[in-house]
Amino acid sequence: MGRIDYLVVGLGNPGAKYILTRHNAGFLVLDHLAQLYKVRLKQKEKKFTGGVIQEGDYQILIAKPLTYMNLSGEAVKILLERYHLPLDRVIIISDDVALPFGSIKLKPKGSSGGHRGLASIIAQTGKALPRVRVGIGAPPIGVEMTEYVLGKFSTEEEKLLPEITLRAARAIMTWVEEGTEKAMSVYNGLVPSLRIEKKQR
């Protein structure tokens, strides 16, 4: 695959039954990135599938772990060791129940926040990993967390997914080209259509 300058990892669970589940928000963003740059994701080995975006002077590897969410760190560790990347050249995309649906939050580092995929990665790398958190909202009262995150987005939520995943994809490319601070200042918060809806209430 040659030189890699950045690594972008979207978290999720492999398999058709998980495609539009909330826990697969990271996979959905990665799919949008691949579509934008006409990159075909191919299975490189047992633990991940990926492809390379060529943007200017940069070679950006985008990858999906195939380990299932709770073992995501195994795939990330392989990629870090293979390409000898410092942690500030890696960004992880994950769902987040602590953020409202439709919001995006870039952070240069932090804890797992109870997210098992992030916890698996942090156990292998430490906390100094940039991440893009995609808000999926908290579960309704009476709904268990596992049931909620493994459940599919509602019809109304699905309609907004293209806008959300596009915004997250743009945030990632801004992070690569202009740095974390710039990406955070431009993209952190709700997607525009939800901000408008909130103002109209």
Burial class (CB in 10 A: 0-12, 13-18, 19+), 120: buried
Both structure tokens of 26: 């990271």
Both structure tokens of 181: 């601070």
Catalytic residues: 23
Q: Give 67's DSSP letter.
A: S
Residues in the chain, how many? 201
Of 107, 126, 88, the C-alpha closest to 171 is: 107
What is the Cα 107 distance to its own chain's centre? 12
Distance CA 64, CA 49 (A): 5
